[in-house]
Structure 1
Amino acid sequence: MDPSKPESFNHRTEILSTGRKYHFVDQKPEGYDSKRHPTLVLVHGFPDLWYGWRFQIGPWVSRGSRVIAPDMLGYGCTSKPADAQEYSTKKLCADLAALLDLLDIKRAIFIGHDWGSYTVGRFALWYPDRLHALVMLSVPYTPPSREFLSLEEVVRRAPDLGYQLYFASPKSNLEILANLKKFLRITYGPPSPKSGFHNRGSLENLLLAVPDKPRPSVLKEEELEFYHSQLSKGMFGPLNYYRTSKFRHDEELDYGLGPNLRENLPFLFIWGTADLTATPFVIGKAKKFINRYQDVALEGRGHWLMVEAKDEITQIIANWLEGLTCSQPNVVLGERLSGKL
């Protein structure tokens, strides 16, 4: 497993019981035994791929975990339905449960970033008995609400989320695709108070500006090229995630989905202090709904933690998982998780 060579990972493509085709990386540790080795399911966000976890997969496998990293719906070689309703979190979570079923995995540790963080947080509500532990990166847990807030209202209350109005607009599909390399440089920029694309109208102005000014990125050129090759297959799927707020709300309200995570579920939130998406107010609110809440703030880090702080993320999560069961040091991690949680 070489992070600079995507082809060096073990790739699989399968049809799930939900009827959707999913591409995912499936890496097993040496001497893999499903009863002894835990499974980590890594869920990426926007605009990312399984590839976003390239620096973590190998080290976590070497420490005894099986690692599953899918291209989420609409991305890479996974199915790309055109209807935004197909991207509701309930349906995404059903896909993830079906992926576990396909692999004959009863329970796993779920780790998510960005939209993936939101998704794994909802997975913990829809399928509470299928998690050993939950780790969320960059985007804090937000509970279901009985009151629907339109995206316009959300942006009025949180102006730094103004870019989401552009993503929700149908015109963004082709405009972003036509300027994909520039878009990737903008979104994968290093943390900076001068990044200037979060407020309403700023992102499209930057994207469509002529001439284009060179922009720094947390990615290397070959990494940007890989993202470009995969996302150039179409942006309507990834952007559909920003068009699901009413579908998500109605599903959760109809089901009566509660706000609290399972009481005994170990929980870790990791965030960068220079990331505008992780506000202290939302982080503080999340603590009310999570009994075993823990968090780690990475000073000066931005949104793309798996790249900006790749070694820290790898070590923090691995050490945290092992620390959950340190009271039984002579037992393999998978057995300890299965027996204790």
Structure 2
Amino acid sequence: MNPSDPDSFCHRTVQISTGHLYHFIDQIPANYDSTRPPLICLHGFPDSWFGWRHQIGPWCSQGFRVIVPDMLGYGETDMPHDSSAYSTKNICNDISALLDFLDISKAVVIGHDWGAYTAGRFALWHPERLIALVMLAVPYVPPTLQHMPVEEMARKFPSYGYQAYFASEASTAEIEANPVSFLQVLFRTPEKILPFTKLGQFQGLITNKQIDFADGCLLNEHDLQIYVSRFQRGMLGPLSYYRTTRTRFEEEKSALLPAHLPPNLHVLFIYGTKDATCPPSAVRNAHKFISQLNTVALEDVGHWVMLEAQDRVTSEVLRFLSSPEISASQKSRM
């Protein structure tokens, strides 16, 4: 597997029982030992399976089957027009259905960004499918007791202004018209982060033709063009995740989802100390709801941990999976 060559990975496309067509990487080691738990990796926004390119090979070489889908609305996976299809409940049902198709009863779920949020909710919607959980960059937050529209959140907490923009209908066409600057604004080193969180800032940046965003971008030109090609179908699907606030709240309230993750579930959380979207208070708060939580802080690393700290993320996950607790959990769940 060559991280610079998407074609060097094992690609599959299947229709799952929820009716959606999913494209995913299914990397199975030679002489696969089924006693090792399969890993399913969930990417965030704006990413694709390609975001895990530096981890798939090393994890596979250590005997793990690594499954990495393009999430709903991304890449070659289906892109429904109805935003409710992207609610976390529905996405979790899709992941469960994909595991069913692959005849996998339980797996280790690993998520980054929106994928981390989804992984945390998977532990609530489908706890019986989990061996262990790994969350990157975005810490666990429990279901809310009251619904707060994203626009109201942006008024109360100005740093959420970008989410209000992504949730708006206007963002779709504006981002589609400026794919390169859009990606370069988001995929940045911590030292070169641009101010985009407040209302009006993000669209002002990506439509500004006078700024060269290449300096400080984590993506080289080759990888940038691969990402641009992944979004050729448009941004409706990826942005729809930000348009599910009320649907998510209503589904979770109706199901009476618990605030706490299962007490016997071992969870690893990895984050960068320079990631402004992950303040220390949020990490401390996660401990209130997760009994078996291990945290790893990556010094001087920002949001894109799989790119900025490739080897460290790979090794920390392997260390977590090799722990006696996970081995015992795997045996008890087989």
Which TM-score band applies after superposition, normalised by the shorter structure?
Answer: over 0.9
Q: 1:255 to 1:157 in 2, by over 3 A?
A: same
Q: Work out whether residues 38 and 337 of structure 1, in 8 Å CA contact, stay in contact via their aligned partners in 2.
A: no
Q: Which residue of 2 aligns with 1:257?
A: 257
User: Which moves more between the two structures, 151-160 or 124-133?
Assistant: 151-160
The CA deviation at 1:150 is 1.3
Q: Does residue 231 of the first structure (1) align with residue 223 of the second (2)? A: no
Q: Which residue of 2 aligns with 1:209?
A: 208
Q: Give the letter aligned to residue 228 of structure 2.
A: H
Q: 1:139 to 1:9 in 2, by over 3 A?
A: same
The CA deviation at 1:324 is 3.7
Q: Does residue 339 of the first structure (1) align with residue 328 of the second (2)? A: no
Q: Which residue of 2 aligns with 1:323?
A: 323
In 2, the alpha carbon distance for the partners of 1:302 and 1:66 equals 28
In 1, the alpha carbon distance for the partners of 2:129 and 2:213 equals 45
Q: Which residue of 2 aligns with 1:330?
A: none
Q: Give the letter aligned to residue 304 of structure 1.
A: W
In 1, the alpha carbon distance for the partners of 2:280 and 2:159 equals 14
Q: Work out whether residues 27 and 67 of structure 1, in 8 Å CA contact, stay in contact via their aligned partners in 2.
A: yes
Q: Give the letter aligned to residue 319 of structure 2.
A: N
Q: 1:170 to 1:129 in 2, by over 3 A?
A: same
The CA deviation at 1:212 is 3.2
Q: Which residue of 2 aligns with 1:289?
A: 289
Q: Which residue of 1 aligns with 2:218?
A: 218
- Superposed, 1:58-97 pairs within 5 Å as 58-97=57-96
Q: Give the letter aligned to residue 297 of structure 2.
A: A
Q: Which residue of 2 aligns with 1:135?
A: 134
Q: 1:288 to 1:325 in 2, by over 3 A?
A: closer
After TM superposition, the runs of 4+ consecutive aligned structure 1 residues lying more than 3 A away are: none
Q: For 1:162, what is the secondary structure of its paired residue?
A: helix
In 1, the alpha carbon distance for the partners of 2:156 and 2:238 equals 24
The CA deviation at 1:161 is 2.2
In 1, the alpha carbon distance for the partners of 2:153 and 2:279 equals 14
Q: Work out whether residues 189 and 215 of structure 1, in 8 Å CA contact, stay in contact via their aligned partners in 2.
A: no
Q: Which residue of 1 aligns with 2:15?
A: 15
Q: Give the letter aligned to residue 85 of structure 1.
A: S
In 1, the alpha carbon distance for the partners of 2:72 and 2:233 equals 13
The CA deviation at 1:33 is 4.0
The CA deviation at 1:149 is 1.2
Q: Which residue of 2 aligns with 1:186?
A: 185
Q: Give the letter aligned to residue 199 of structure 1.
A: K
The CA deviation at 1:145 is 1.4
Say how many residue pairs are matched: 332
Q: Which residue of 2 aligns with 1:4?
A: 4
Q: Work out whether residues 33 and 63 of structure 2, in 8 Å CA contact, stay in contact via their aligned partners in 1.
A: no
In 2, the alpha carbon distance for the partners of 1:297 and 1:120 equals 19
Q: For 2:109, what is the secondary structure of its paired residue?
A: strand
Q: Which residue of 2 aligns with 1:329?
A: none
Q: Give the letter aligned to residue 339 of structure 1.
A: K
In 2, the alpha carbon distance for the partners of 1:322 and 1:340 equals 15
Q: Give the letter aligned to residue 84 of structure 1.
A: S
Q: Which residue of 2 aligns with 1:299?
A: 299
The CA deviation at 1:92 is 0.1
Structure 2: where are the runs of 5+ without partners? none
Deviations 1:126-174 (A, max 9, x none): 0011100001000110100121111123223432222111101111111
Q: Work out whether residues 306 and 313 of structure 2, in 8 Å CA contact, stay in contact via their aligned partners in 1.
A: yes
In 2, the alpha carbon distance for the partners of 1:95 and 1:13 equals 14
In 2, the alpha carbon distance for the partners of 1:265 and 1:157 equals 34
In 1, the alpha carbon distance for the partners of 2:193 and 2:85 equals 36
Q: Give the letter aligned to residue 174 of structure 1.
A: A
Q: For 2:285, what is the secondary structure of its paired residue?
A: helix
Q: Work out whether residues 38 and 64 of structure 1, in 8 Å CA contact, stay in contact via their aligned partners in 2.
A: no
TM-score using structure 2 length: 0.96
